[in-house]
Structure 1
Amino acid sequence: MSQFAKSSQHPIDGFIIEFDRALRSIVGATPMRRSVPESSTMNESELSAEEKKHAAGLMRVNHVGEVCAQALYQSQKLHAKSDDLKNKLEHAAIEEEDHLAWCERRLEELDSHPSLLNPVWYAGSFVLGSIAGLAGDKISLGFVAETEKQVEHHLDDHLKELPSNDHRSRAIVAQMRADEIAHGQMAIQEGGVELPSAVQEVMKTMAKVMTVTAYRI
């Protein structure tokens, strides 16, 4: 009897864990497993009001990207056929949680806040991830690879746009970029297929809408 109760409780436990992760992704208070990345030059000069506002807008966009990443990995993990793939997606999601926490911390330091539309970003990304997951593991992995490639380019742009003396934000973005590249390479190595160019363009357009909106709201 106890064995049956134990086995029947696993899905509930899993649901609670994933729901808790979703809630923390949306409202904040994300656990941090790795400390905030630091630059070799952390004694930055004080940012001007305009620089501070611009840096906060960029870090808010980065935070939204990590909210979306949590939703994508959760939904894709839900539909993954292979246990090995589920474990790899879980590992990537945990690293993305660090990104969330780092961005949250930096936004606080910049006297700013996460996007007010985080519930919308999360819900939309969860639907997209579910569609990719239902299409099969190779398509799902291809979606991860393309997403991470676009995120890498987006972070490259942010490293160019962030104030040159905002070493704290730049150190965070640089580490995030390194992690995203690793996630993309994992997806390719696991057999992810290249998505049709039309799908890639739709993803870029959606990312642009999110970026422009999240910078302000």
Structure 2
Amino acid sequence: MTQAHLDAALIQTSAAHIEARDRLTIARILRVNHAGEYGAIRIYGAQIAVAKRLWPDVVPHLTEMLGDEIRHCRLFRTAMPSRQSQPCRVMQFWSLGGFVLGFLTALAGRQSIWVCTAAVEAAVHRHLGDQLHFLAGRDEGVKVIILDINEEEVAHLYTAEQHLRGTNPAQRLLHGIITVLTDLMIWLSTWGDSTRMAKALREAERG
């Protein structure tokens, strides 16, 4: 995605014909994506702080992913004003939760770091897919931004999966817990709109 395309997407507004409820959903999409990226920044930041002392070999990967998340967070924040969206009211939970999750998984070892990354990025990728389906014909600007970001989120997921050396019951449990918590935070931050978008996508796939 070229910078020119992204710059145009940031100032583009929602389609004029869409319903007020859909405009509200778009505002919530930006809000939760911005909060989620901030939470990811906190996860990677905490993991890097611990890994520098315990697992220095993973720091370059984490640092690269942190840089991507900072860019993603900035893109969503920039797109907010033209769509009457504001930062999430529960940002402090994303911040604290991200830091605690990153700190604890880093202490638990390299594999826990990659399990955490895989779980978070898989959940994010799934929700971004739902959002892209919803945004088609409603807000092409936000759709362009998410398409650009989703490429890097998938790369993060691939990196994590490449470093995982199989899974054991404890790792599967950790993956499941992180997935549930991520889905719950997204649901709360969108006031349940994430469920509606996932349902719409399933219906469209069934034809």
TM over 0.5: yes
- Tell me how far 1:189 sits from its aligned partner: 2.6
User: Is 1:57 paired with 2:14?
Assistant: no
**4+ residue runs of structure 1 moved beyond 6 angstroms?**
none
Where does residue 143 of structure 1 map in the other structure?
116
Counterpart AA for 1:208: D
Q: Which runs of 5+ in 2 are unaligned?
A: 192-207
User: Alpha-carbon deviation of 1:49?
Assistant: 2.8
Q: Which amino acid aligns with 1:140?
A: I
Aligned CA RMSD, in angstroms, stands at: 2.4
1:69 aligns with 2:40: yes
Q: Residue 156 of structure 1: CA displacement?
A: 0.8
Q: For 1:133, which of 83, 106, 119 is the aligned residue? A: 106
Aligned positions, number: 182
1:177 is paired with a residue of what secondary structure?
helix
Identity level (%)? 24
**What residue ranges of structure 1 are gaps of 5+ in the alignment?**
1-33
Q: Does residue 135 of structure 2 align to residue 162 of structure 1?
A: yes
1:200 counterpart (156, 159, 175): 175
| Contact 1:145/1:192 (<8 A) preserved | no
2:152 equivalent to 1:175:
no
Match of 1:109 in 2: 82
Cα shift readout 1:8-56 (whole Å, capped 9, x = no counterpart): xxxxxxxxxxxxxxxxxxxxxxxxxx677367xx797424433221101
Higher alpha-carbon deviation: 118-127 or 187-196: 187-196
Deviates more, 1:197-206 or 1:101-110: 197-206
Letter in 1 for 2:183: K
Higher-Rg structure is 1
Aligned 8 A contact 1:73 1:89 in 2:
yes
Alpha-carbon distance in structure 1 between the residues aligned to 2:109 and 2:4: 35
Residues 38 and 94, structure 2, Cα contact 8 Å, conserved in 1: yes
More helix by share: 2
In the other structure, the counterpart of 1:27 is none
What does residue 90 of structure 1 align with? 63
**Equivalent pair of 1:139/1:193 in contact (CA under 8 Å):** no
Residue aligned with 2:80, SS: helix
Q: Give the Cα–Cα distance (whole angstroms) in 2 for the partners of residues 192 and 123 of structure 1.
A: 29
8 Å CA contact 2:119–2:176 kept in 1: the answer is no
Letter in 2 for 1:120: F
Deviates more, 1:187-196 or 1:56-65: 187-196
Instruction: Name the CA distance, whole Å, in 1 between partners of 2:5 and 2:184.
Output: 28
Q: Distance in 2 between matches of 1:143 and 1:44?
A: 34
Match of 1:99 in 2: 72
Amino acid at match of 1:197: R
CA distance 1:100–1:192, change in 2 (3 Å): farther
Correspondence for 1:122: 95
Q: 2:185 matched to 1:214? A: no
Q: Give the corresponding residue for 1:24.
A: none
* Contact 2:44 2:66 (8 Å CA) reproduced: yes
CA 1:192–1:125: 2 relative to 1, 3 Å? farther
Query: Does structure 1 conserve the Cα–Cα contact (< 8 Å) formed by 2:46 and 2:102?
Result: yes
SS at match of 1:103: helix
